[in-house]
Amino acid sequence: MMMKMYHKPVLLSESVEALITNPGGIYVDCTFGGGGHSREILNQLNEKSRLIAFDQDKDSEQNSIPDERFKLVMQNFRYLKNNLRFLGINKVDGILADLGVSSHQFDTPERGFSIRFDEKLDMRMNQAAKLNAIKILNEYEEEKLSDVFYQYGELRNARRLAREITAARKSNPIRTMNDLRQLFNYIPKNKENKFFAQLFQALRIEVNDEMSALKEMLIQTSEVIKEGGRLVVISYHSLEDRLVKRYMKTGMFEGEPERDIYGNWEVPFKVLQSKVIVPDEEEIQENTRARSAKMRIAVKN
């Protein structure tokens, strides 16, 4: 049985409409969560179709869909290609990835994703993983902590924050949101939420190795999506969106792709929309977590 209000999918109709080009095809939902996108995809497909969904959070398993066309794979989407091959699938008609944290993860205090609760700082999407935010805060060396805060939280005072944490943890381990609030009690009230949101983002990305996993998944999409198939990605912060935008445009994360004899880039995808797609005001009012969403669509060359 699906958990009540597990997650409200963002850009639901827009993303599914962009994804499906063949109602009898094979599709992948890389981020199953509450199953909102998967259910709508299945609604738009015929009886000959297949939908493979991925999720590394065991909580999402109870949302699985009793449909013979559907298969839920309880793994990180970085293992996309190998799992598809195991299922006898070499090519698919489209892939959808709705990145970020589900409402369920944010709203479950003991998961440690939200700054609203004074709970242990866990932040693991895969609850079987060994690394959590507590380990990072209490065991990472100062320089490594600083790098995490600067690269993934885009915090300008990353070095100072890392220095303060490594000094404070010598006498008292940092385990909860309240520990962080006490340590950084000098942050002005009007800037507190943004500061902790950036700090939590940095920790969460490091805990779950999100940037590397996203890169690995994107690279595999060009190998498993058939010609004319679609790649649809919804991202929620600039780090993700930059990777997605660049890969869709160039097939790379750095440098420039090779050119053909006519001087044109040889790239795996063609970007379909001239501007990034964002939720309208009505959707943002209904679901505030949609406000930072950006959707990009590409077709396989």
What's the pLDDT score for residue 259? 75
pLDDT in tens, 21-57: 999 999 999 999 999 999 999 999 999 999 999 999 9
Give the HSE-up count for residue 245: Cα atoms under 13 Å, Cβ half-sphere: 15
**Strands, sheet with 269-271, edge to edge from the N-terminal-most edge strand:** 70-73, 50-54, 26-29, 92-98, 225-235, 294-300, 269-271
Position 2 scores a pLDDT of 41
User: Checking DSSP bridges between strand 92-98 and strand 70-73, what pairing results, if any?
Assistant: unpaired
- Identify the segments of the chain with pLDDT beneath 70: 1-7
Amino acid at 296: R
Report DSSP state, residue 31. -
Contact 65, 1 (CB under 8 A): no
Question: Which residue segment(s) compose the domain that 293 sits in?
Answer: 12-103+211-300
Q: Is the dihedral of CA 50, 55, 61, 62 positive or negative?
A: negative
Residue ranges of E strands in 55-91: 70-73
Task: Look at residue 167 and tell me if it is in a domain.
Answer: yes
Shared domain for 195 and 141, answered yes or no, is yes
Phi, psi at residue 29, to the nearest 5°?
-105, 105
What is the CATH classification number for the domain harbouring 78? 3.40.50.150
The pLDDT score that the predictor gives to residue 261 is: 77
The single-letter DSSP state of residue 77 is: G
In a domain, 244, yes or no: yes
CA distances from 222 to 82, 252, 269 (A): 14, 11, 8
pLDDT at 6: 62
**At 69, which amino acid appears?**
R
Quick one: tokens of 191? 């800037």
Whole-number pLDDT of residue 173: 97
Q: How many domains does the chain have?
A: 2
Express each pLDDT in 214-245 by its tens digit.
999 999 999 999 999 999 999 999 999 999 99
Query: 6 in a domain, yes or no?
Result: no
Name the residue among 234, 237, 243, 249 with its Cα closest to residue 211.
Answer: 243
Q: What is the reported pLDDT for 7? A: 65
CATH number at residue 186: 1.10.150.170
Residues 51 and 113 in one domain: no
